[in-house]
Amino acid sequence: MTLHLIKLAARATGVDDLINWQTYVRETHGELFHTTRMMPKRVNELLDDGSIYWVIKRKIRVRQTILDIQPFTDEAGIKRCHIFLDPELIATRQQSRRPFQGWRYLPASDAPEDMPMVAEGDDELPEHLKAELMALGLL
Protein backbone atom coordinates (compact mmCIF):
# COMPACT_ATOMS: atom_id res chain seq x y z
CA MET A 1 0.00 0.00 0.00
CA THR A 2 1.38 3.40 -0.99
CA LEU A 3 2.44 5.78 1.74
CA HIS A 4 3.83 9.30 1.42
CA LEU A 5 5.91 11.69 3.51
CA ILE A 6 5.10 15.29 4.31
CA LYS A 7 7.98 17.70 4.96
CA LEU A 8 8.36 21.41 5.60
CA ALA A 9 10.49 23.19 3.00
CA ALA A 10 12.38 25.14 5.67
CA ARG A 11 12.94 28.82 4.93
CA ALA A 12 11.29 28.53 1.51
CA THR A 13 8.93 31.39 0.72
CA GLY A 14 7.76 29.87 -2.54
CA VAL A 15 8.23 26.94 -4.90
CA ASP A 16 11.08 28.84 -6.59
CA ASP A 17 13.12 28.65 -3.37
CA LEU A 18 12.68 24.87 -3.29
CA ILE A 19 13.69 24.63 -6.96
CA ASN A 20 16.81 26.74 -6.33
CA TRP A 21 17.85 24.65 -3.33
CA GLN A 22 17.34 21.36 -5.17
CA THR A 23 19.23 22.66 -8.21
CA TYR A 24 22.15 23.46 -5.90
CA VAL A 25 22.04 19.96 -4.35
CA ARG A 26 21.90 18.28 -7.76
CA GLU A 27 24.77 20.37 -9.15
CA THR A 28 26.90 19.84 -6.02
CA HIS A 29 26.30 16.10 -5.52
CA GLY A 30 25.30 14.91 -8.99
CA GLU A 31 21.95 13.59 -7.77
CA LEU A 32 18.92 14.90 -5.92
CA PHE A 33 18.27 13.83 -2.36
CA HIS A 34 16.98 15.21 0.91
CA THR A 35 18.90 14.30 4.06
CA THR A 36 17.04 13.59 7.27
CA ARG A 37 18.08 12.27 10.65
CA MET A 38 15.26 9.82 11.17
CA MET A 39 15.12 6.71 8.99
CA PRO A 40 11.53 5.85 8.02
CA LYS A 41 10.48 2.42 9.29
CA ARG A 42 7.88 1.95 6.52
CA VAL A 43 10.36 2.11 3.63
CA ASN A 44 8.64 -0.53 1.48
CA GLU A 45 5.37 1.42 1.53
CA LEU A 46 7.17 4.67 0.68
CA LEU A 47 8.99 3.05 -2.25
CA ASP A 48 5.65 1.71 -3.57
CA ASP A 49 5.00 4.87 -5.65
CA GLY A 50 5.27 7.17 -2.60
CA SER A 51 6.03 10.88 -2.78
CA ILE A 52 7.31 13.59 -0.51
CA TYR A 53 4.80 16.43 -0.20
CA TRP A 54 6.44 19.80 0.44
CA VAL A 55 4.81 22.33 2.80
CA ILE A 56 5.65 25.92 1.91
CA LYS A 57 4.18 28.79 3.94
CA ARG A 58 1.83 26.41 5.82
CA LYS A 59 0.41 24.79 2.67
CA ILE A 60 1.24 21.66 0.74
CA ARG A 61 2.18 23.04 -2.69
CA VAL A 62 4.14 20.39 -4.61
CA ARG A 63 5.24 16.78 -4.44
CA GLN A 64 8.11 14.67 -5.73
CA THR A 65 8.27 10.92 -6.26
CA ILE A 66 10.55 9.08 -3.84
CA LEU A 67 13.03 6.95 -5.79
CA ASP A 68 15.07 5.40 -2.98
CA ILE A 69 15.92 5.70 0.72
CA GLN A 70 19.47 4.97 1.88
CA PRO A 71 20.72 5.05 5.48
CA PHE A 72 24.24 6.31 6.21
CA THR A 73 26.40 7.55 9.07
CA ASP A 74 27.80 11.08 8.77
CA GLU A 75 31.29 12.31 9.70
CA ALA A 76 30.19 12.95 13.30
CA GLY A 77 28.96 9.35 13.67
CA ILE A 78 25.27 10.31 13.55
CA LYS A 79 22.91 7.96 11.69
CA ARG A 80 20.96 9.69 8.93
CA CYS A 81 19.32 8.83 5.65
CA HIS A 82 19.13 10.21 2.13
CA ILE A 83 15.72 10.28 0.47
CA PHE A 84 16.43 10.26 -3.26
CA LEU A 85 13.87 12.20 -5.28
CA ASP A 86 12.71 12.50 -8.86
CA PRO A 87 13.65 16.07 -9.91
CA GLU A 88 10.16 16.73 -11.34
CA LEU A 89 8.02 18.87 -9.03
CA ILE A 90 4.32 18.12 -9.41
CA ALA A 91 1.92 20.86 -8.35
CA THR A 92 -0.84 19.74 -5.99
CA ARG A 93 -4.04 21.27 -4.75
CA GLN A 94 -3.02 23.42 -1.82
CA GLN A 95 -3.77 21.92 1.56
CA SER A 96 -3.20 23.79 4.83
CA ARG A 97 -0.86 22.27 7.41
CA ARG A 98 0.14 23.30 10.90
CA PRO A 99 3.85 23.64 11.66
CA PHE A 100 5.70 20.49 12.70
CA GLN A 101 9.29 19.30 12.98
CA GLY A 102 10.93 16.64 10.85
CA TRP A 103 8.68 14.68 8.55
CA ARG A 104 5.40 12.84 8.98
CA TYR A 105 3.77 9.93 7.22
CA LEU A 106 0.92 10.93 4.92
CA PRO A 107 -1.58 8.20 4.02
CA ALA A 108 -2.49 8.17 0.32
CA SER A 109 -6.13 8.81 1.26
CA ASP A 110 -5.15 12.14 2.91
CA ALA A 111 -2.81 13.35 0.16
CA PRO A 112 -3.99 16.31 -1.93
CA GLU A 113 -4.65 15.54 -5.58
CA ASP A 114 -2.36 16.77 -8.32
CA MET A 115 -3.25 20.00 -10.04
CA PRO A 116 -4.57 19.64 -13.57
CA MET A 117 -2.24 20.60 -16.39
CA VAL A 118 -2.34 24.37 -16.87
CA ALA A 119 -3.44 25.94 -20.10
CA GLU A 120 -1.10 28.31 -21.92
CA GLY A 121 -0.99 31.65 -20.12
CA ASP A 122 -2.29 30.32 -16.76
CA ASP A 123 1.17 30.44 -15.23
CA GLU A 124 1.06 34.24 -15.41
CA LEU A 125 -1.45 34.51 -12.54
CA PRO A 126 0.01 35.87 -9.30
CA GLU A 127 0.30 33.33 -6.46
CA HIS A 128 -2.24 35.10 -4.23
CA LEU A 129 -4.82 35.08 -7.04
CA LYS A 130 -4.22 31.39 -7.73
CA ALA A 131 -4.71 30.67 -4.02
CA GLU A 132 -8.02 32.58 -3.95
CA LEU A 133 -9.28 30.84 -7.08
CA MET A 134 -8.35 27.44 -5.61
CA ALA A 135 -10.12 28.29 -2.35
CA LEU A 136 -13.24 29.03 -4.38
CA GLY A 137 -12.89 25.75 -6.27
CA LEU A 138 -12.32 27.49 -9.58
CA LEU A 139 -8.81 26.18 -10.16
pLDDT at residue 127 tops 80: no
For 8-40, what is each residue's pLDDT tens digit?
998 899 899 999 999 999 999 999 999 999 899
- Return the percentage of the chain with pLDDT > 90, whole number: 73
- pLDDT in the model for residue 119: 52
Provide the mean pLDDT of the chain.
Answer: 89
User: What pTM was estimated for this model as a whole?
Assistant: 0.82
- The domain tally of the chain equals 1
pLDDT at residue 52 tops 80: yes
For 62-100, what is each residue's pLDDT tens digit?
999 999 999 999 999 999 999 999 999 999 999 999 888
- 38-47 contacts at long range (C-beta below 8 A, 24 or more positions apart): 38/81, 38/102, 38/103, 39/69, 39/71, 39/79, 39/80, 39/81, 40/5, 40/69, 40/81, 40/103, 40/105, 42/3, 42/105, 43/69, 45/1, 45/2, 45/3, 46/3, 46/4, 46/5
pLDDT at residue 133 tops 80: no
> 99 is in which domain, residue-wise?
3-135
